[in-house]
Amino acid sequence: MVEGQTIAVDPRVIPYGTKVIIGGHIFTAEDCGGAIQGNHIDIYVNNHAEAEALGVTNADVFLVK
């Protein structure tokens, strides 16, 4: 997993390897987690404090073709 690149997804919604744009940044679906279900994405960060600082937000997600 790479900070600023990896996102965790529900692979039934977004298949692994899919590239998406969120907030003008390109991320790659490379992981999933127990809490990742449906239209929920987690952006990988290196530490817990950074994750808490980001918090939870709603964002538009665009597939890269």
pLDDT tens per residue across span 27-53? 999 999 788 999 999 999 888 888 888
**Domain span at 28:** 6-63
- Flag whether 31 is in a domain: yes
- Flag whether 48 is in a domain: yes
- Flag whether 1 is in a domain: no
Q: Taking the model in full, what pTM does it have? A: 0.86
- Flag whether 34 is in a domain: yes
Q: Please state the domain count of the chain.
A: 1
What is the predicted pLDDT for the residue at 25?
95
Type and span of the H or E element at 49: helix 48-54
As a whole number of Å, the CA-based R_g of the chain is 11
- Flag whether 45 is in a domain: yes
- Flag whether 28 is in a domain: yes
The answer on pLDDT for 64 being more than 80 is yes
Q: How far is 12 from 55, CA to CA, in rounded Å?
A: 24
